[in-house]
Amino acid sequence: MKEILKNLNKAFENKVRLGIMSALLVNDYLDFNTLKDLLDVTDGNLASHLKSLEKNGYIKFTKEFIGRKPNTKYSACDEGKIAFSKHIKAIEQLLK
């Protein structure tokens, strides 16, 4: 039991962060607005959660311009993918 709990990742306890990781795991990249639409959250809320995931080294982003509009694309790092898979496995084991 303790082993399982150790694999549960605090970084993914929040609903928004869980959503971000789920979406980024199955997409090459998603831009800020797409994520916002998917998760139905405010700009500030999303930005702060993205920042915390980035600090953990789970996601990365690139900035570019479409015309004059800045466009930030987010994608999951390998480290983030592994951590998230572990988290899902831990949940599944917990529910067994």
Partner 1 sequence: MDKKKYIEDLKDIKQMMNRSSRFISLSGLSGIFAGVIAIIGAYLAFQTIYANQNYLDYRQASLSSETLLYLLIIALVTLLSSIASGIFFTTKKAKKNNQKLWDSHTKNLLINLFIPLATGGILCFILLLKGFIGIIAPLTLIFYGLALVNASKFTLQEIRSLGLIEIILGLLGIYFIGYGLILWAIGFGILHIVYGIIMHLRYGS
Binding status of residue 18 toward partner 1 by CB under 8 A? yes
Asked if 25 and 35 touch (Cβ cutoff 8 Å), the reply is: no
Binding status of residue 66 toward partner 1 by CB under 8 A? no
The piece of 24-32, 40-48, 56-64, 75-83 that touches partner 1 (CB under 8 A) is 24-32
Pick the binder of partner 1 from 11, 30, 46, 59 (CB under 8 A): 30
Instruction: Tell me the site size for partner 1, rule CB under 8 A.
Output: 17
Euclidean distance between CA atoms 93 and 35, whole angstroms: 29
The piece of 15-23, 45-53, 62-70, 73-81 that touches partner 1 (CB under 8 A) is 15-23
| Three state DSSP letters for 3-34 | HHHHHCCHHHCCHHHHHHHHHHHHCCCEEHHH
Pick the binder of partner 1 from 7, 23, 31, 36 (CB under 8 A): 23
End-to-end Cα, the chain, rounded Å: 11
